[in-house]
């Protein structure tokens, strides 16, 4: 494969858990090339080869300078924090670099700004890049339409002790998909906490429960609890590899696209 046919990818958060997984996936993919790696200026990894831990040489160094890291990239893959991602997207827009965003916890205002960026560059935004999770979302849409009456809906998610936002972006997306299938607005029917004497459950509500502990990569279960039966649709991640491979599929999907806002359902032709 010639260099001109390679997908040139910059990875943000290069020294983090997900960043390292992404870098390995890019370096081992025949049709991808690591063209840059970004991290915060205080990271001890700045200046190092991001592939060195894999026993490889990528030919690039981790940089805290956004333009240096993005200068040769076709696409950025970003699983960092909302504030960092927004700064990265600003430079992506200036340089014409597409973006695959797995960051979660965006405010409504930040989501609107991402939509504005997508008028200039092509962006895939998804709270979970796993192919399995996105197929699960499609199954949830089908299930919710069938269980539209007589079933209480609860969403339970579990992640590692280091995760900073709750509920997870994936759990919220599951709630949005279920609510939309039922003709509801998640902002109006979501219940995120229960304590004390709460009274009977509102049948139109969608409940969320959050677990944080250990090294759980990510578990999500949506429960449809009826009278005499309970249906559970679950997805459990044992490795971040699925997120990395899904991200590469998103990069390939964006190749040749100049603008537009997409999600993994677009990438996987699930719409």
Active site residues: 159, 163
Query: What is the residue-wise DSSP string for 202-243?
Result: PTT-EEEEEEE-TT--EEEEEEEE-SS-EEEEEEEES-THHH
Cα separation of 254 and 8, whole Å? 12
Query: What is the residue-wise DSSP string for 51-103?
Result: TGGGT---S--EES-HHHHHTT-SEEEE-S-HHHHHHHHHHHHHHT-EEEE--
User: Containing H/E element for 271?
Assistant: none
Taking the CA of residue 148 as centre, how many other CA atoms within 13 Å lie in the half-sphere pointing to its CB?
Answer: 9
């Amino acid at each position: 494969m010639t260099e001109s046919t390679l997908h040139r990818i910059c990875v943000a958060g290069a020294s983090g858990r997900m960043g390292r997984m992404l870098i390995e996936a890019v370096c081992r993919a025949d049709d991808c090339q690591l063209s840059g790696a970004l991290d915060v200026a205080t990271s001890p990894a700045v200046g190092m080869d991001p592939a060195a831990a894999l026993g490889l040489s990528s030919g690039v160094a981790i940089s805290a300078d956004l333009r240096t890291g993005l200068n040769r990239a076709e696409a950025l893959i970003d699983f960092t924090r909302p504030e960092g991602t927004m700064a990265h997207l600003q430079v992506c827009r200036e340089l014409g670099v597409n973006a695959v965003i797995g960051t979660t916890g965006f405010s409504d205002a930040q989501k609107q700004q991402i939509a504005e960026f997508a008028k200039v560059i092509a962006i895939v935004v998804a709270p979970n890049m796993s192919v399995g999770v996105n197929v699960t979302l499609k199954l949830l849409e089908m299930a919710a339409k069938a269980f539209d009456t007589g079933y209480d809906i609860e969403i339970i998610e579990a992640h590692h002790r280091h995760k900073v936002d709750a509920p997870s972006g994936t759990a919220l997306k599951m709630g949005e998909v279920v609510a939309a299938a039922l003709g509801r607005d998640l902002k109006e029917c979501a219940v995120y906490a229960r304590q004390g004497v709460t009274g009977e459950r509102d049948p139109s509500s969608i409940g969320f429960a959050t677990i944080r502990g250990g090294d759980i990569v990510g578990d999500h279960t949506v429960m449809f609890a009826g009278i005499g039966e309970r249906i559970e649709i679950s997805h459990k991640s044992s490795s971040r590899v699925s997120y990395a491979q899904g991200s590469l599929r998103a990069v390939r999907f964006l190749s040749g696209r100049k603008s537009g806002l997409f999600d993994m359902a677009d990438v996987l032709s699930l719409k």
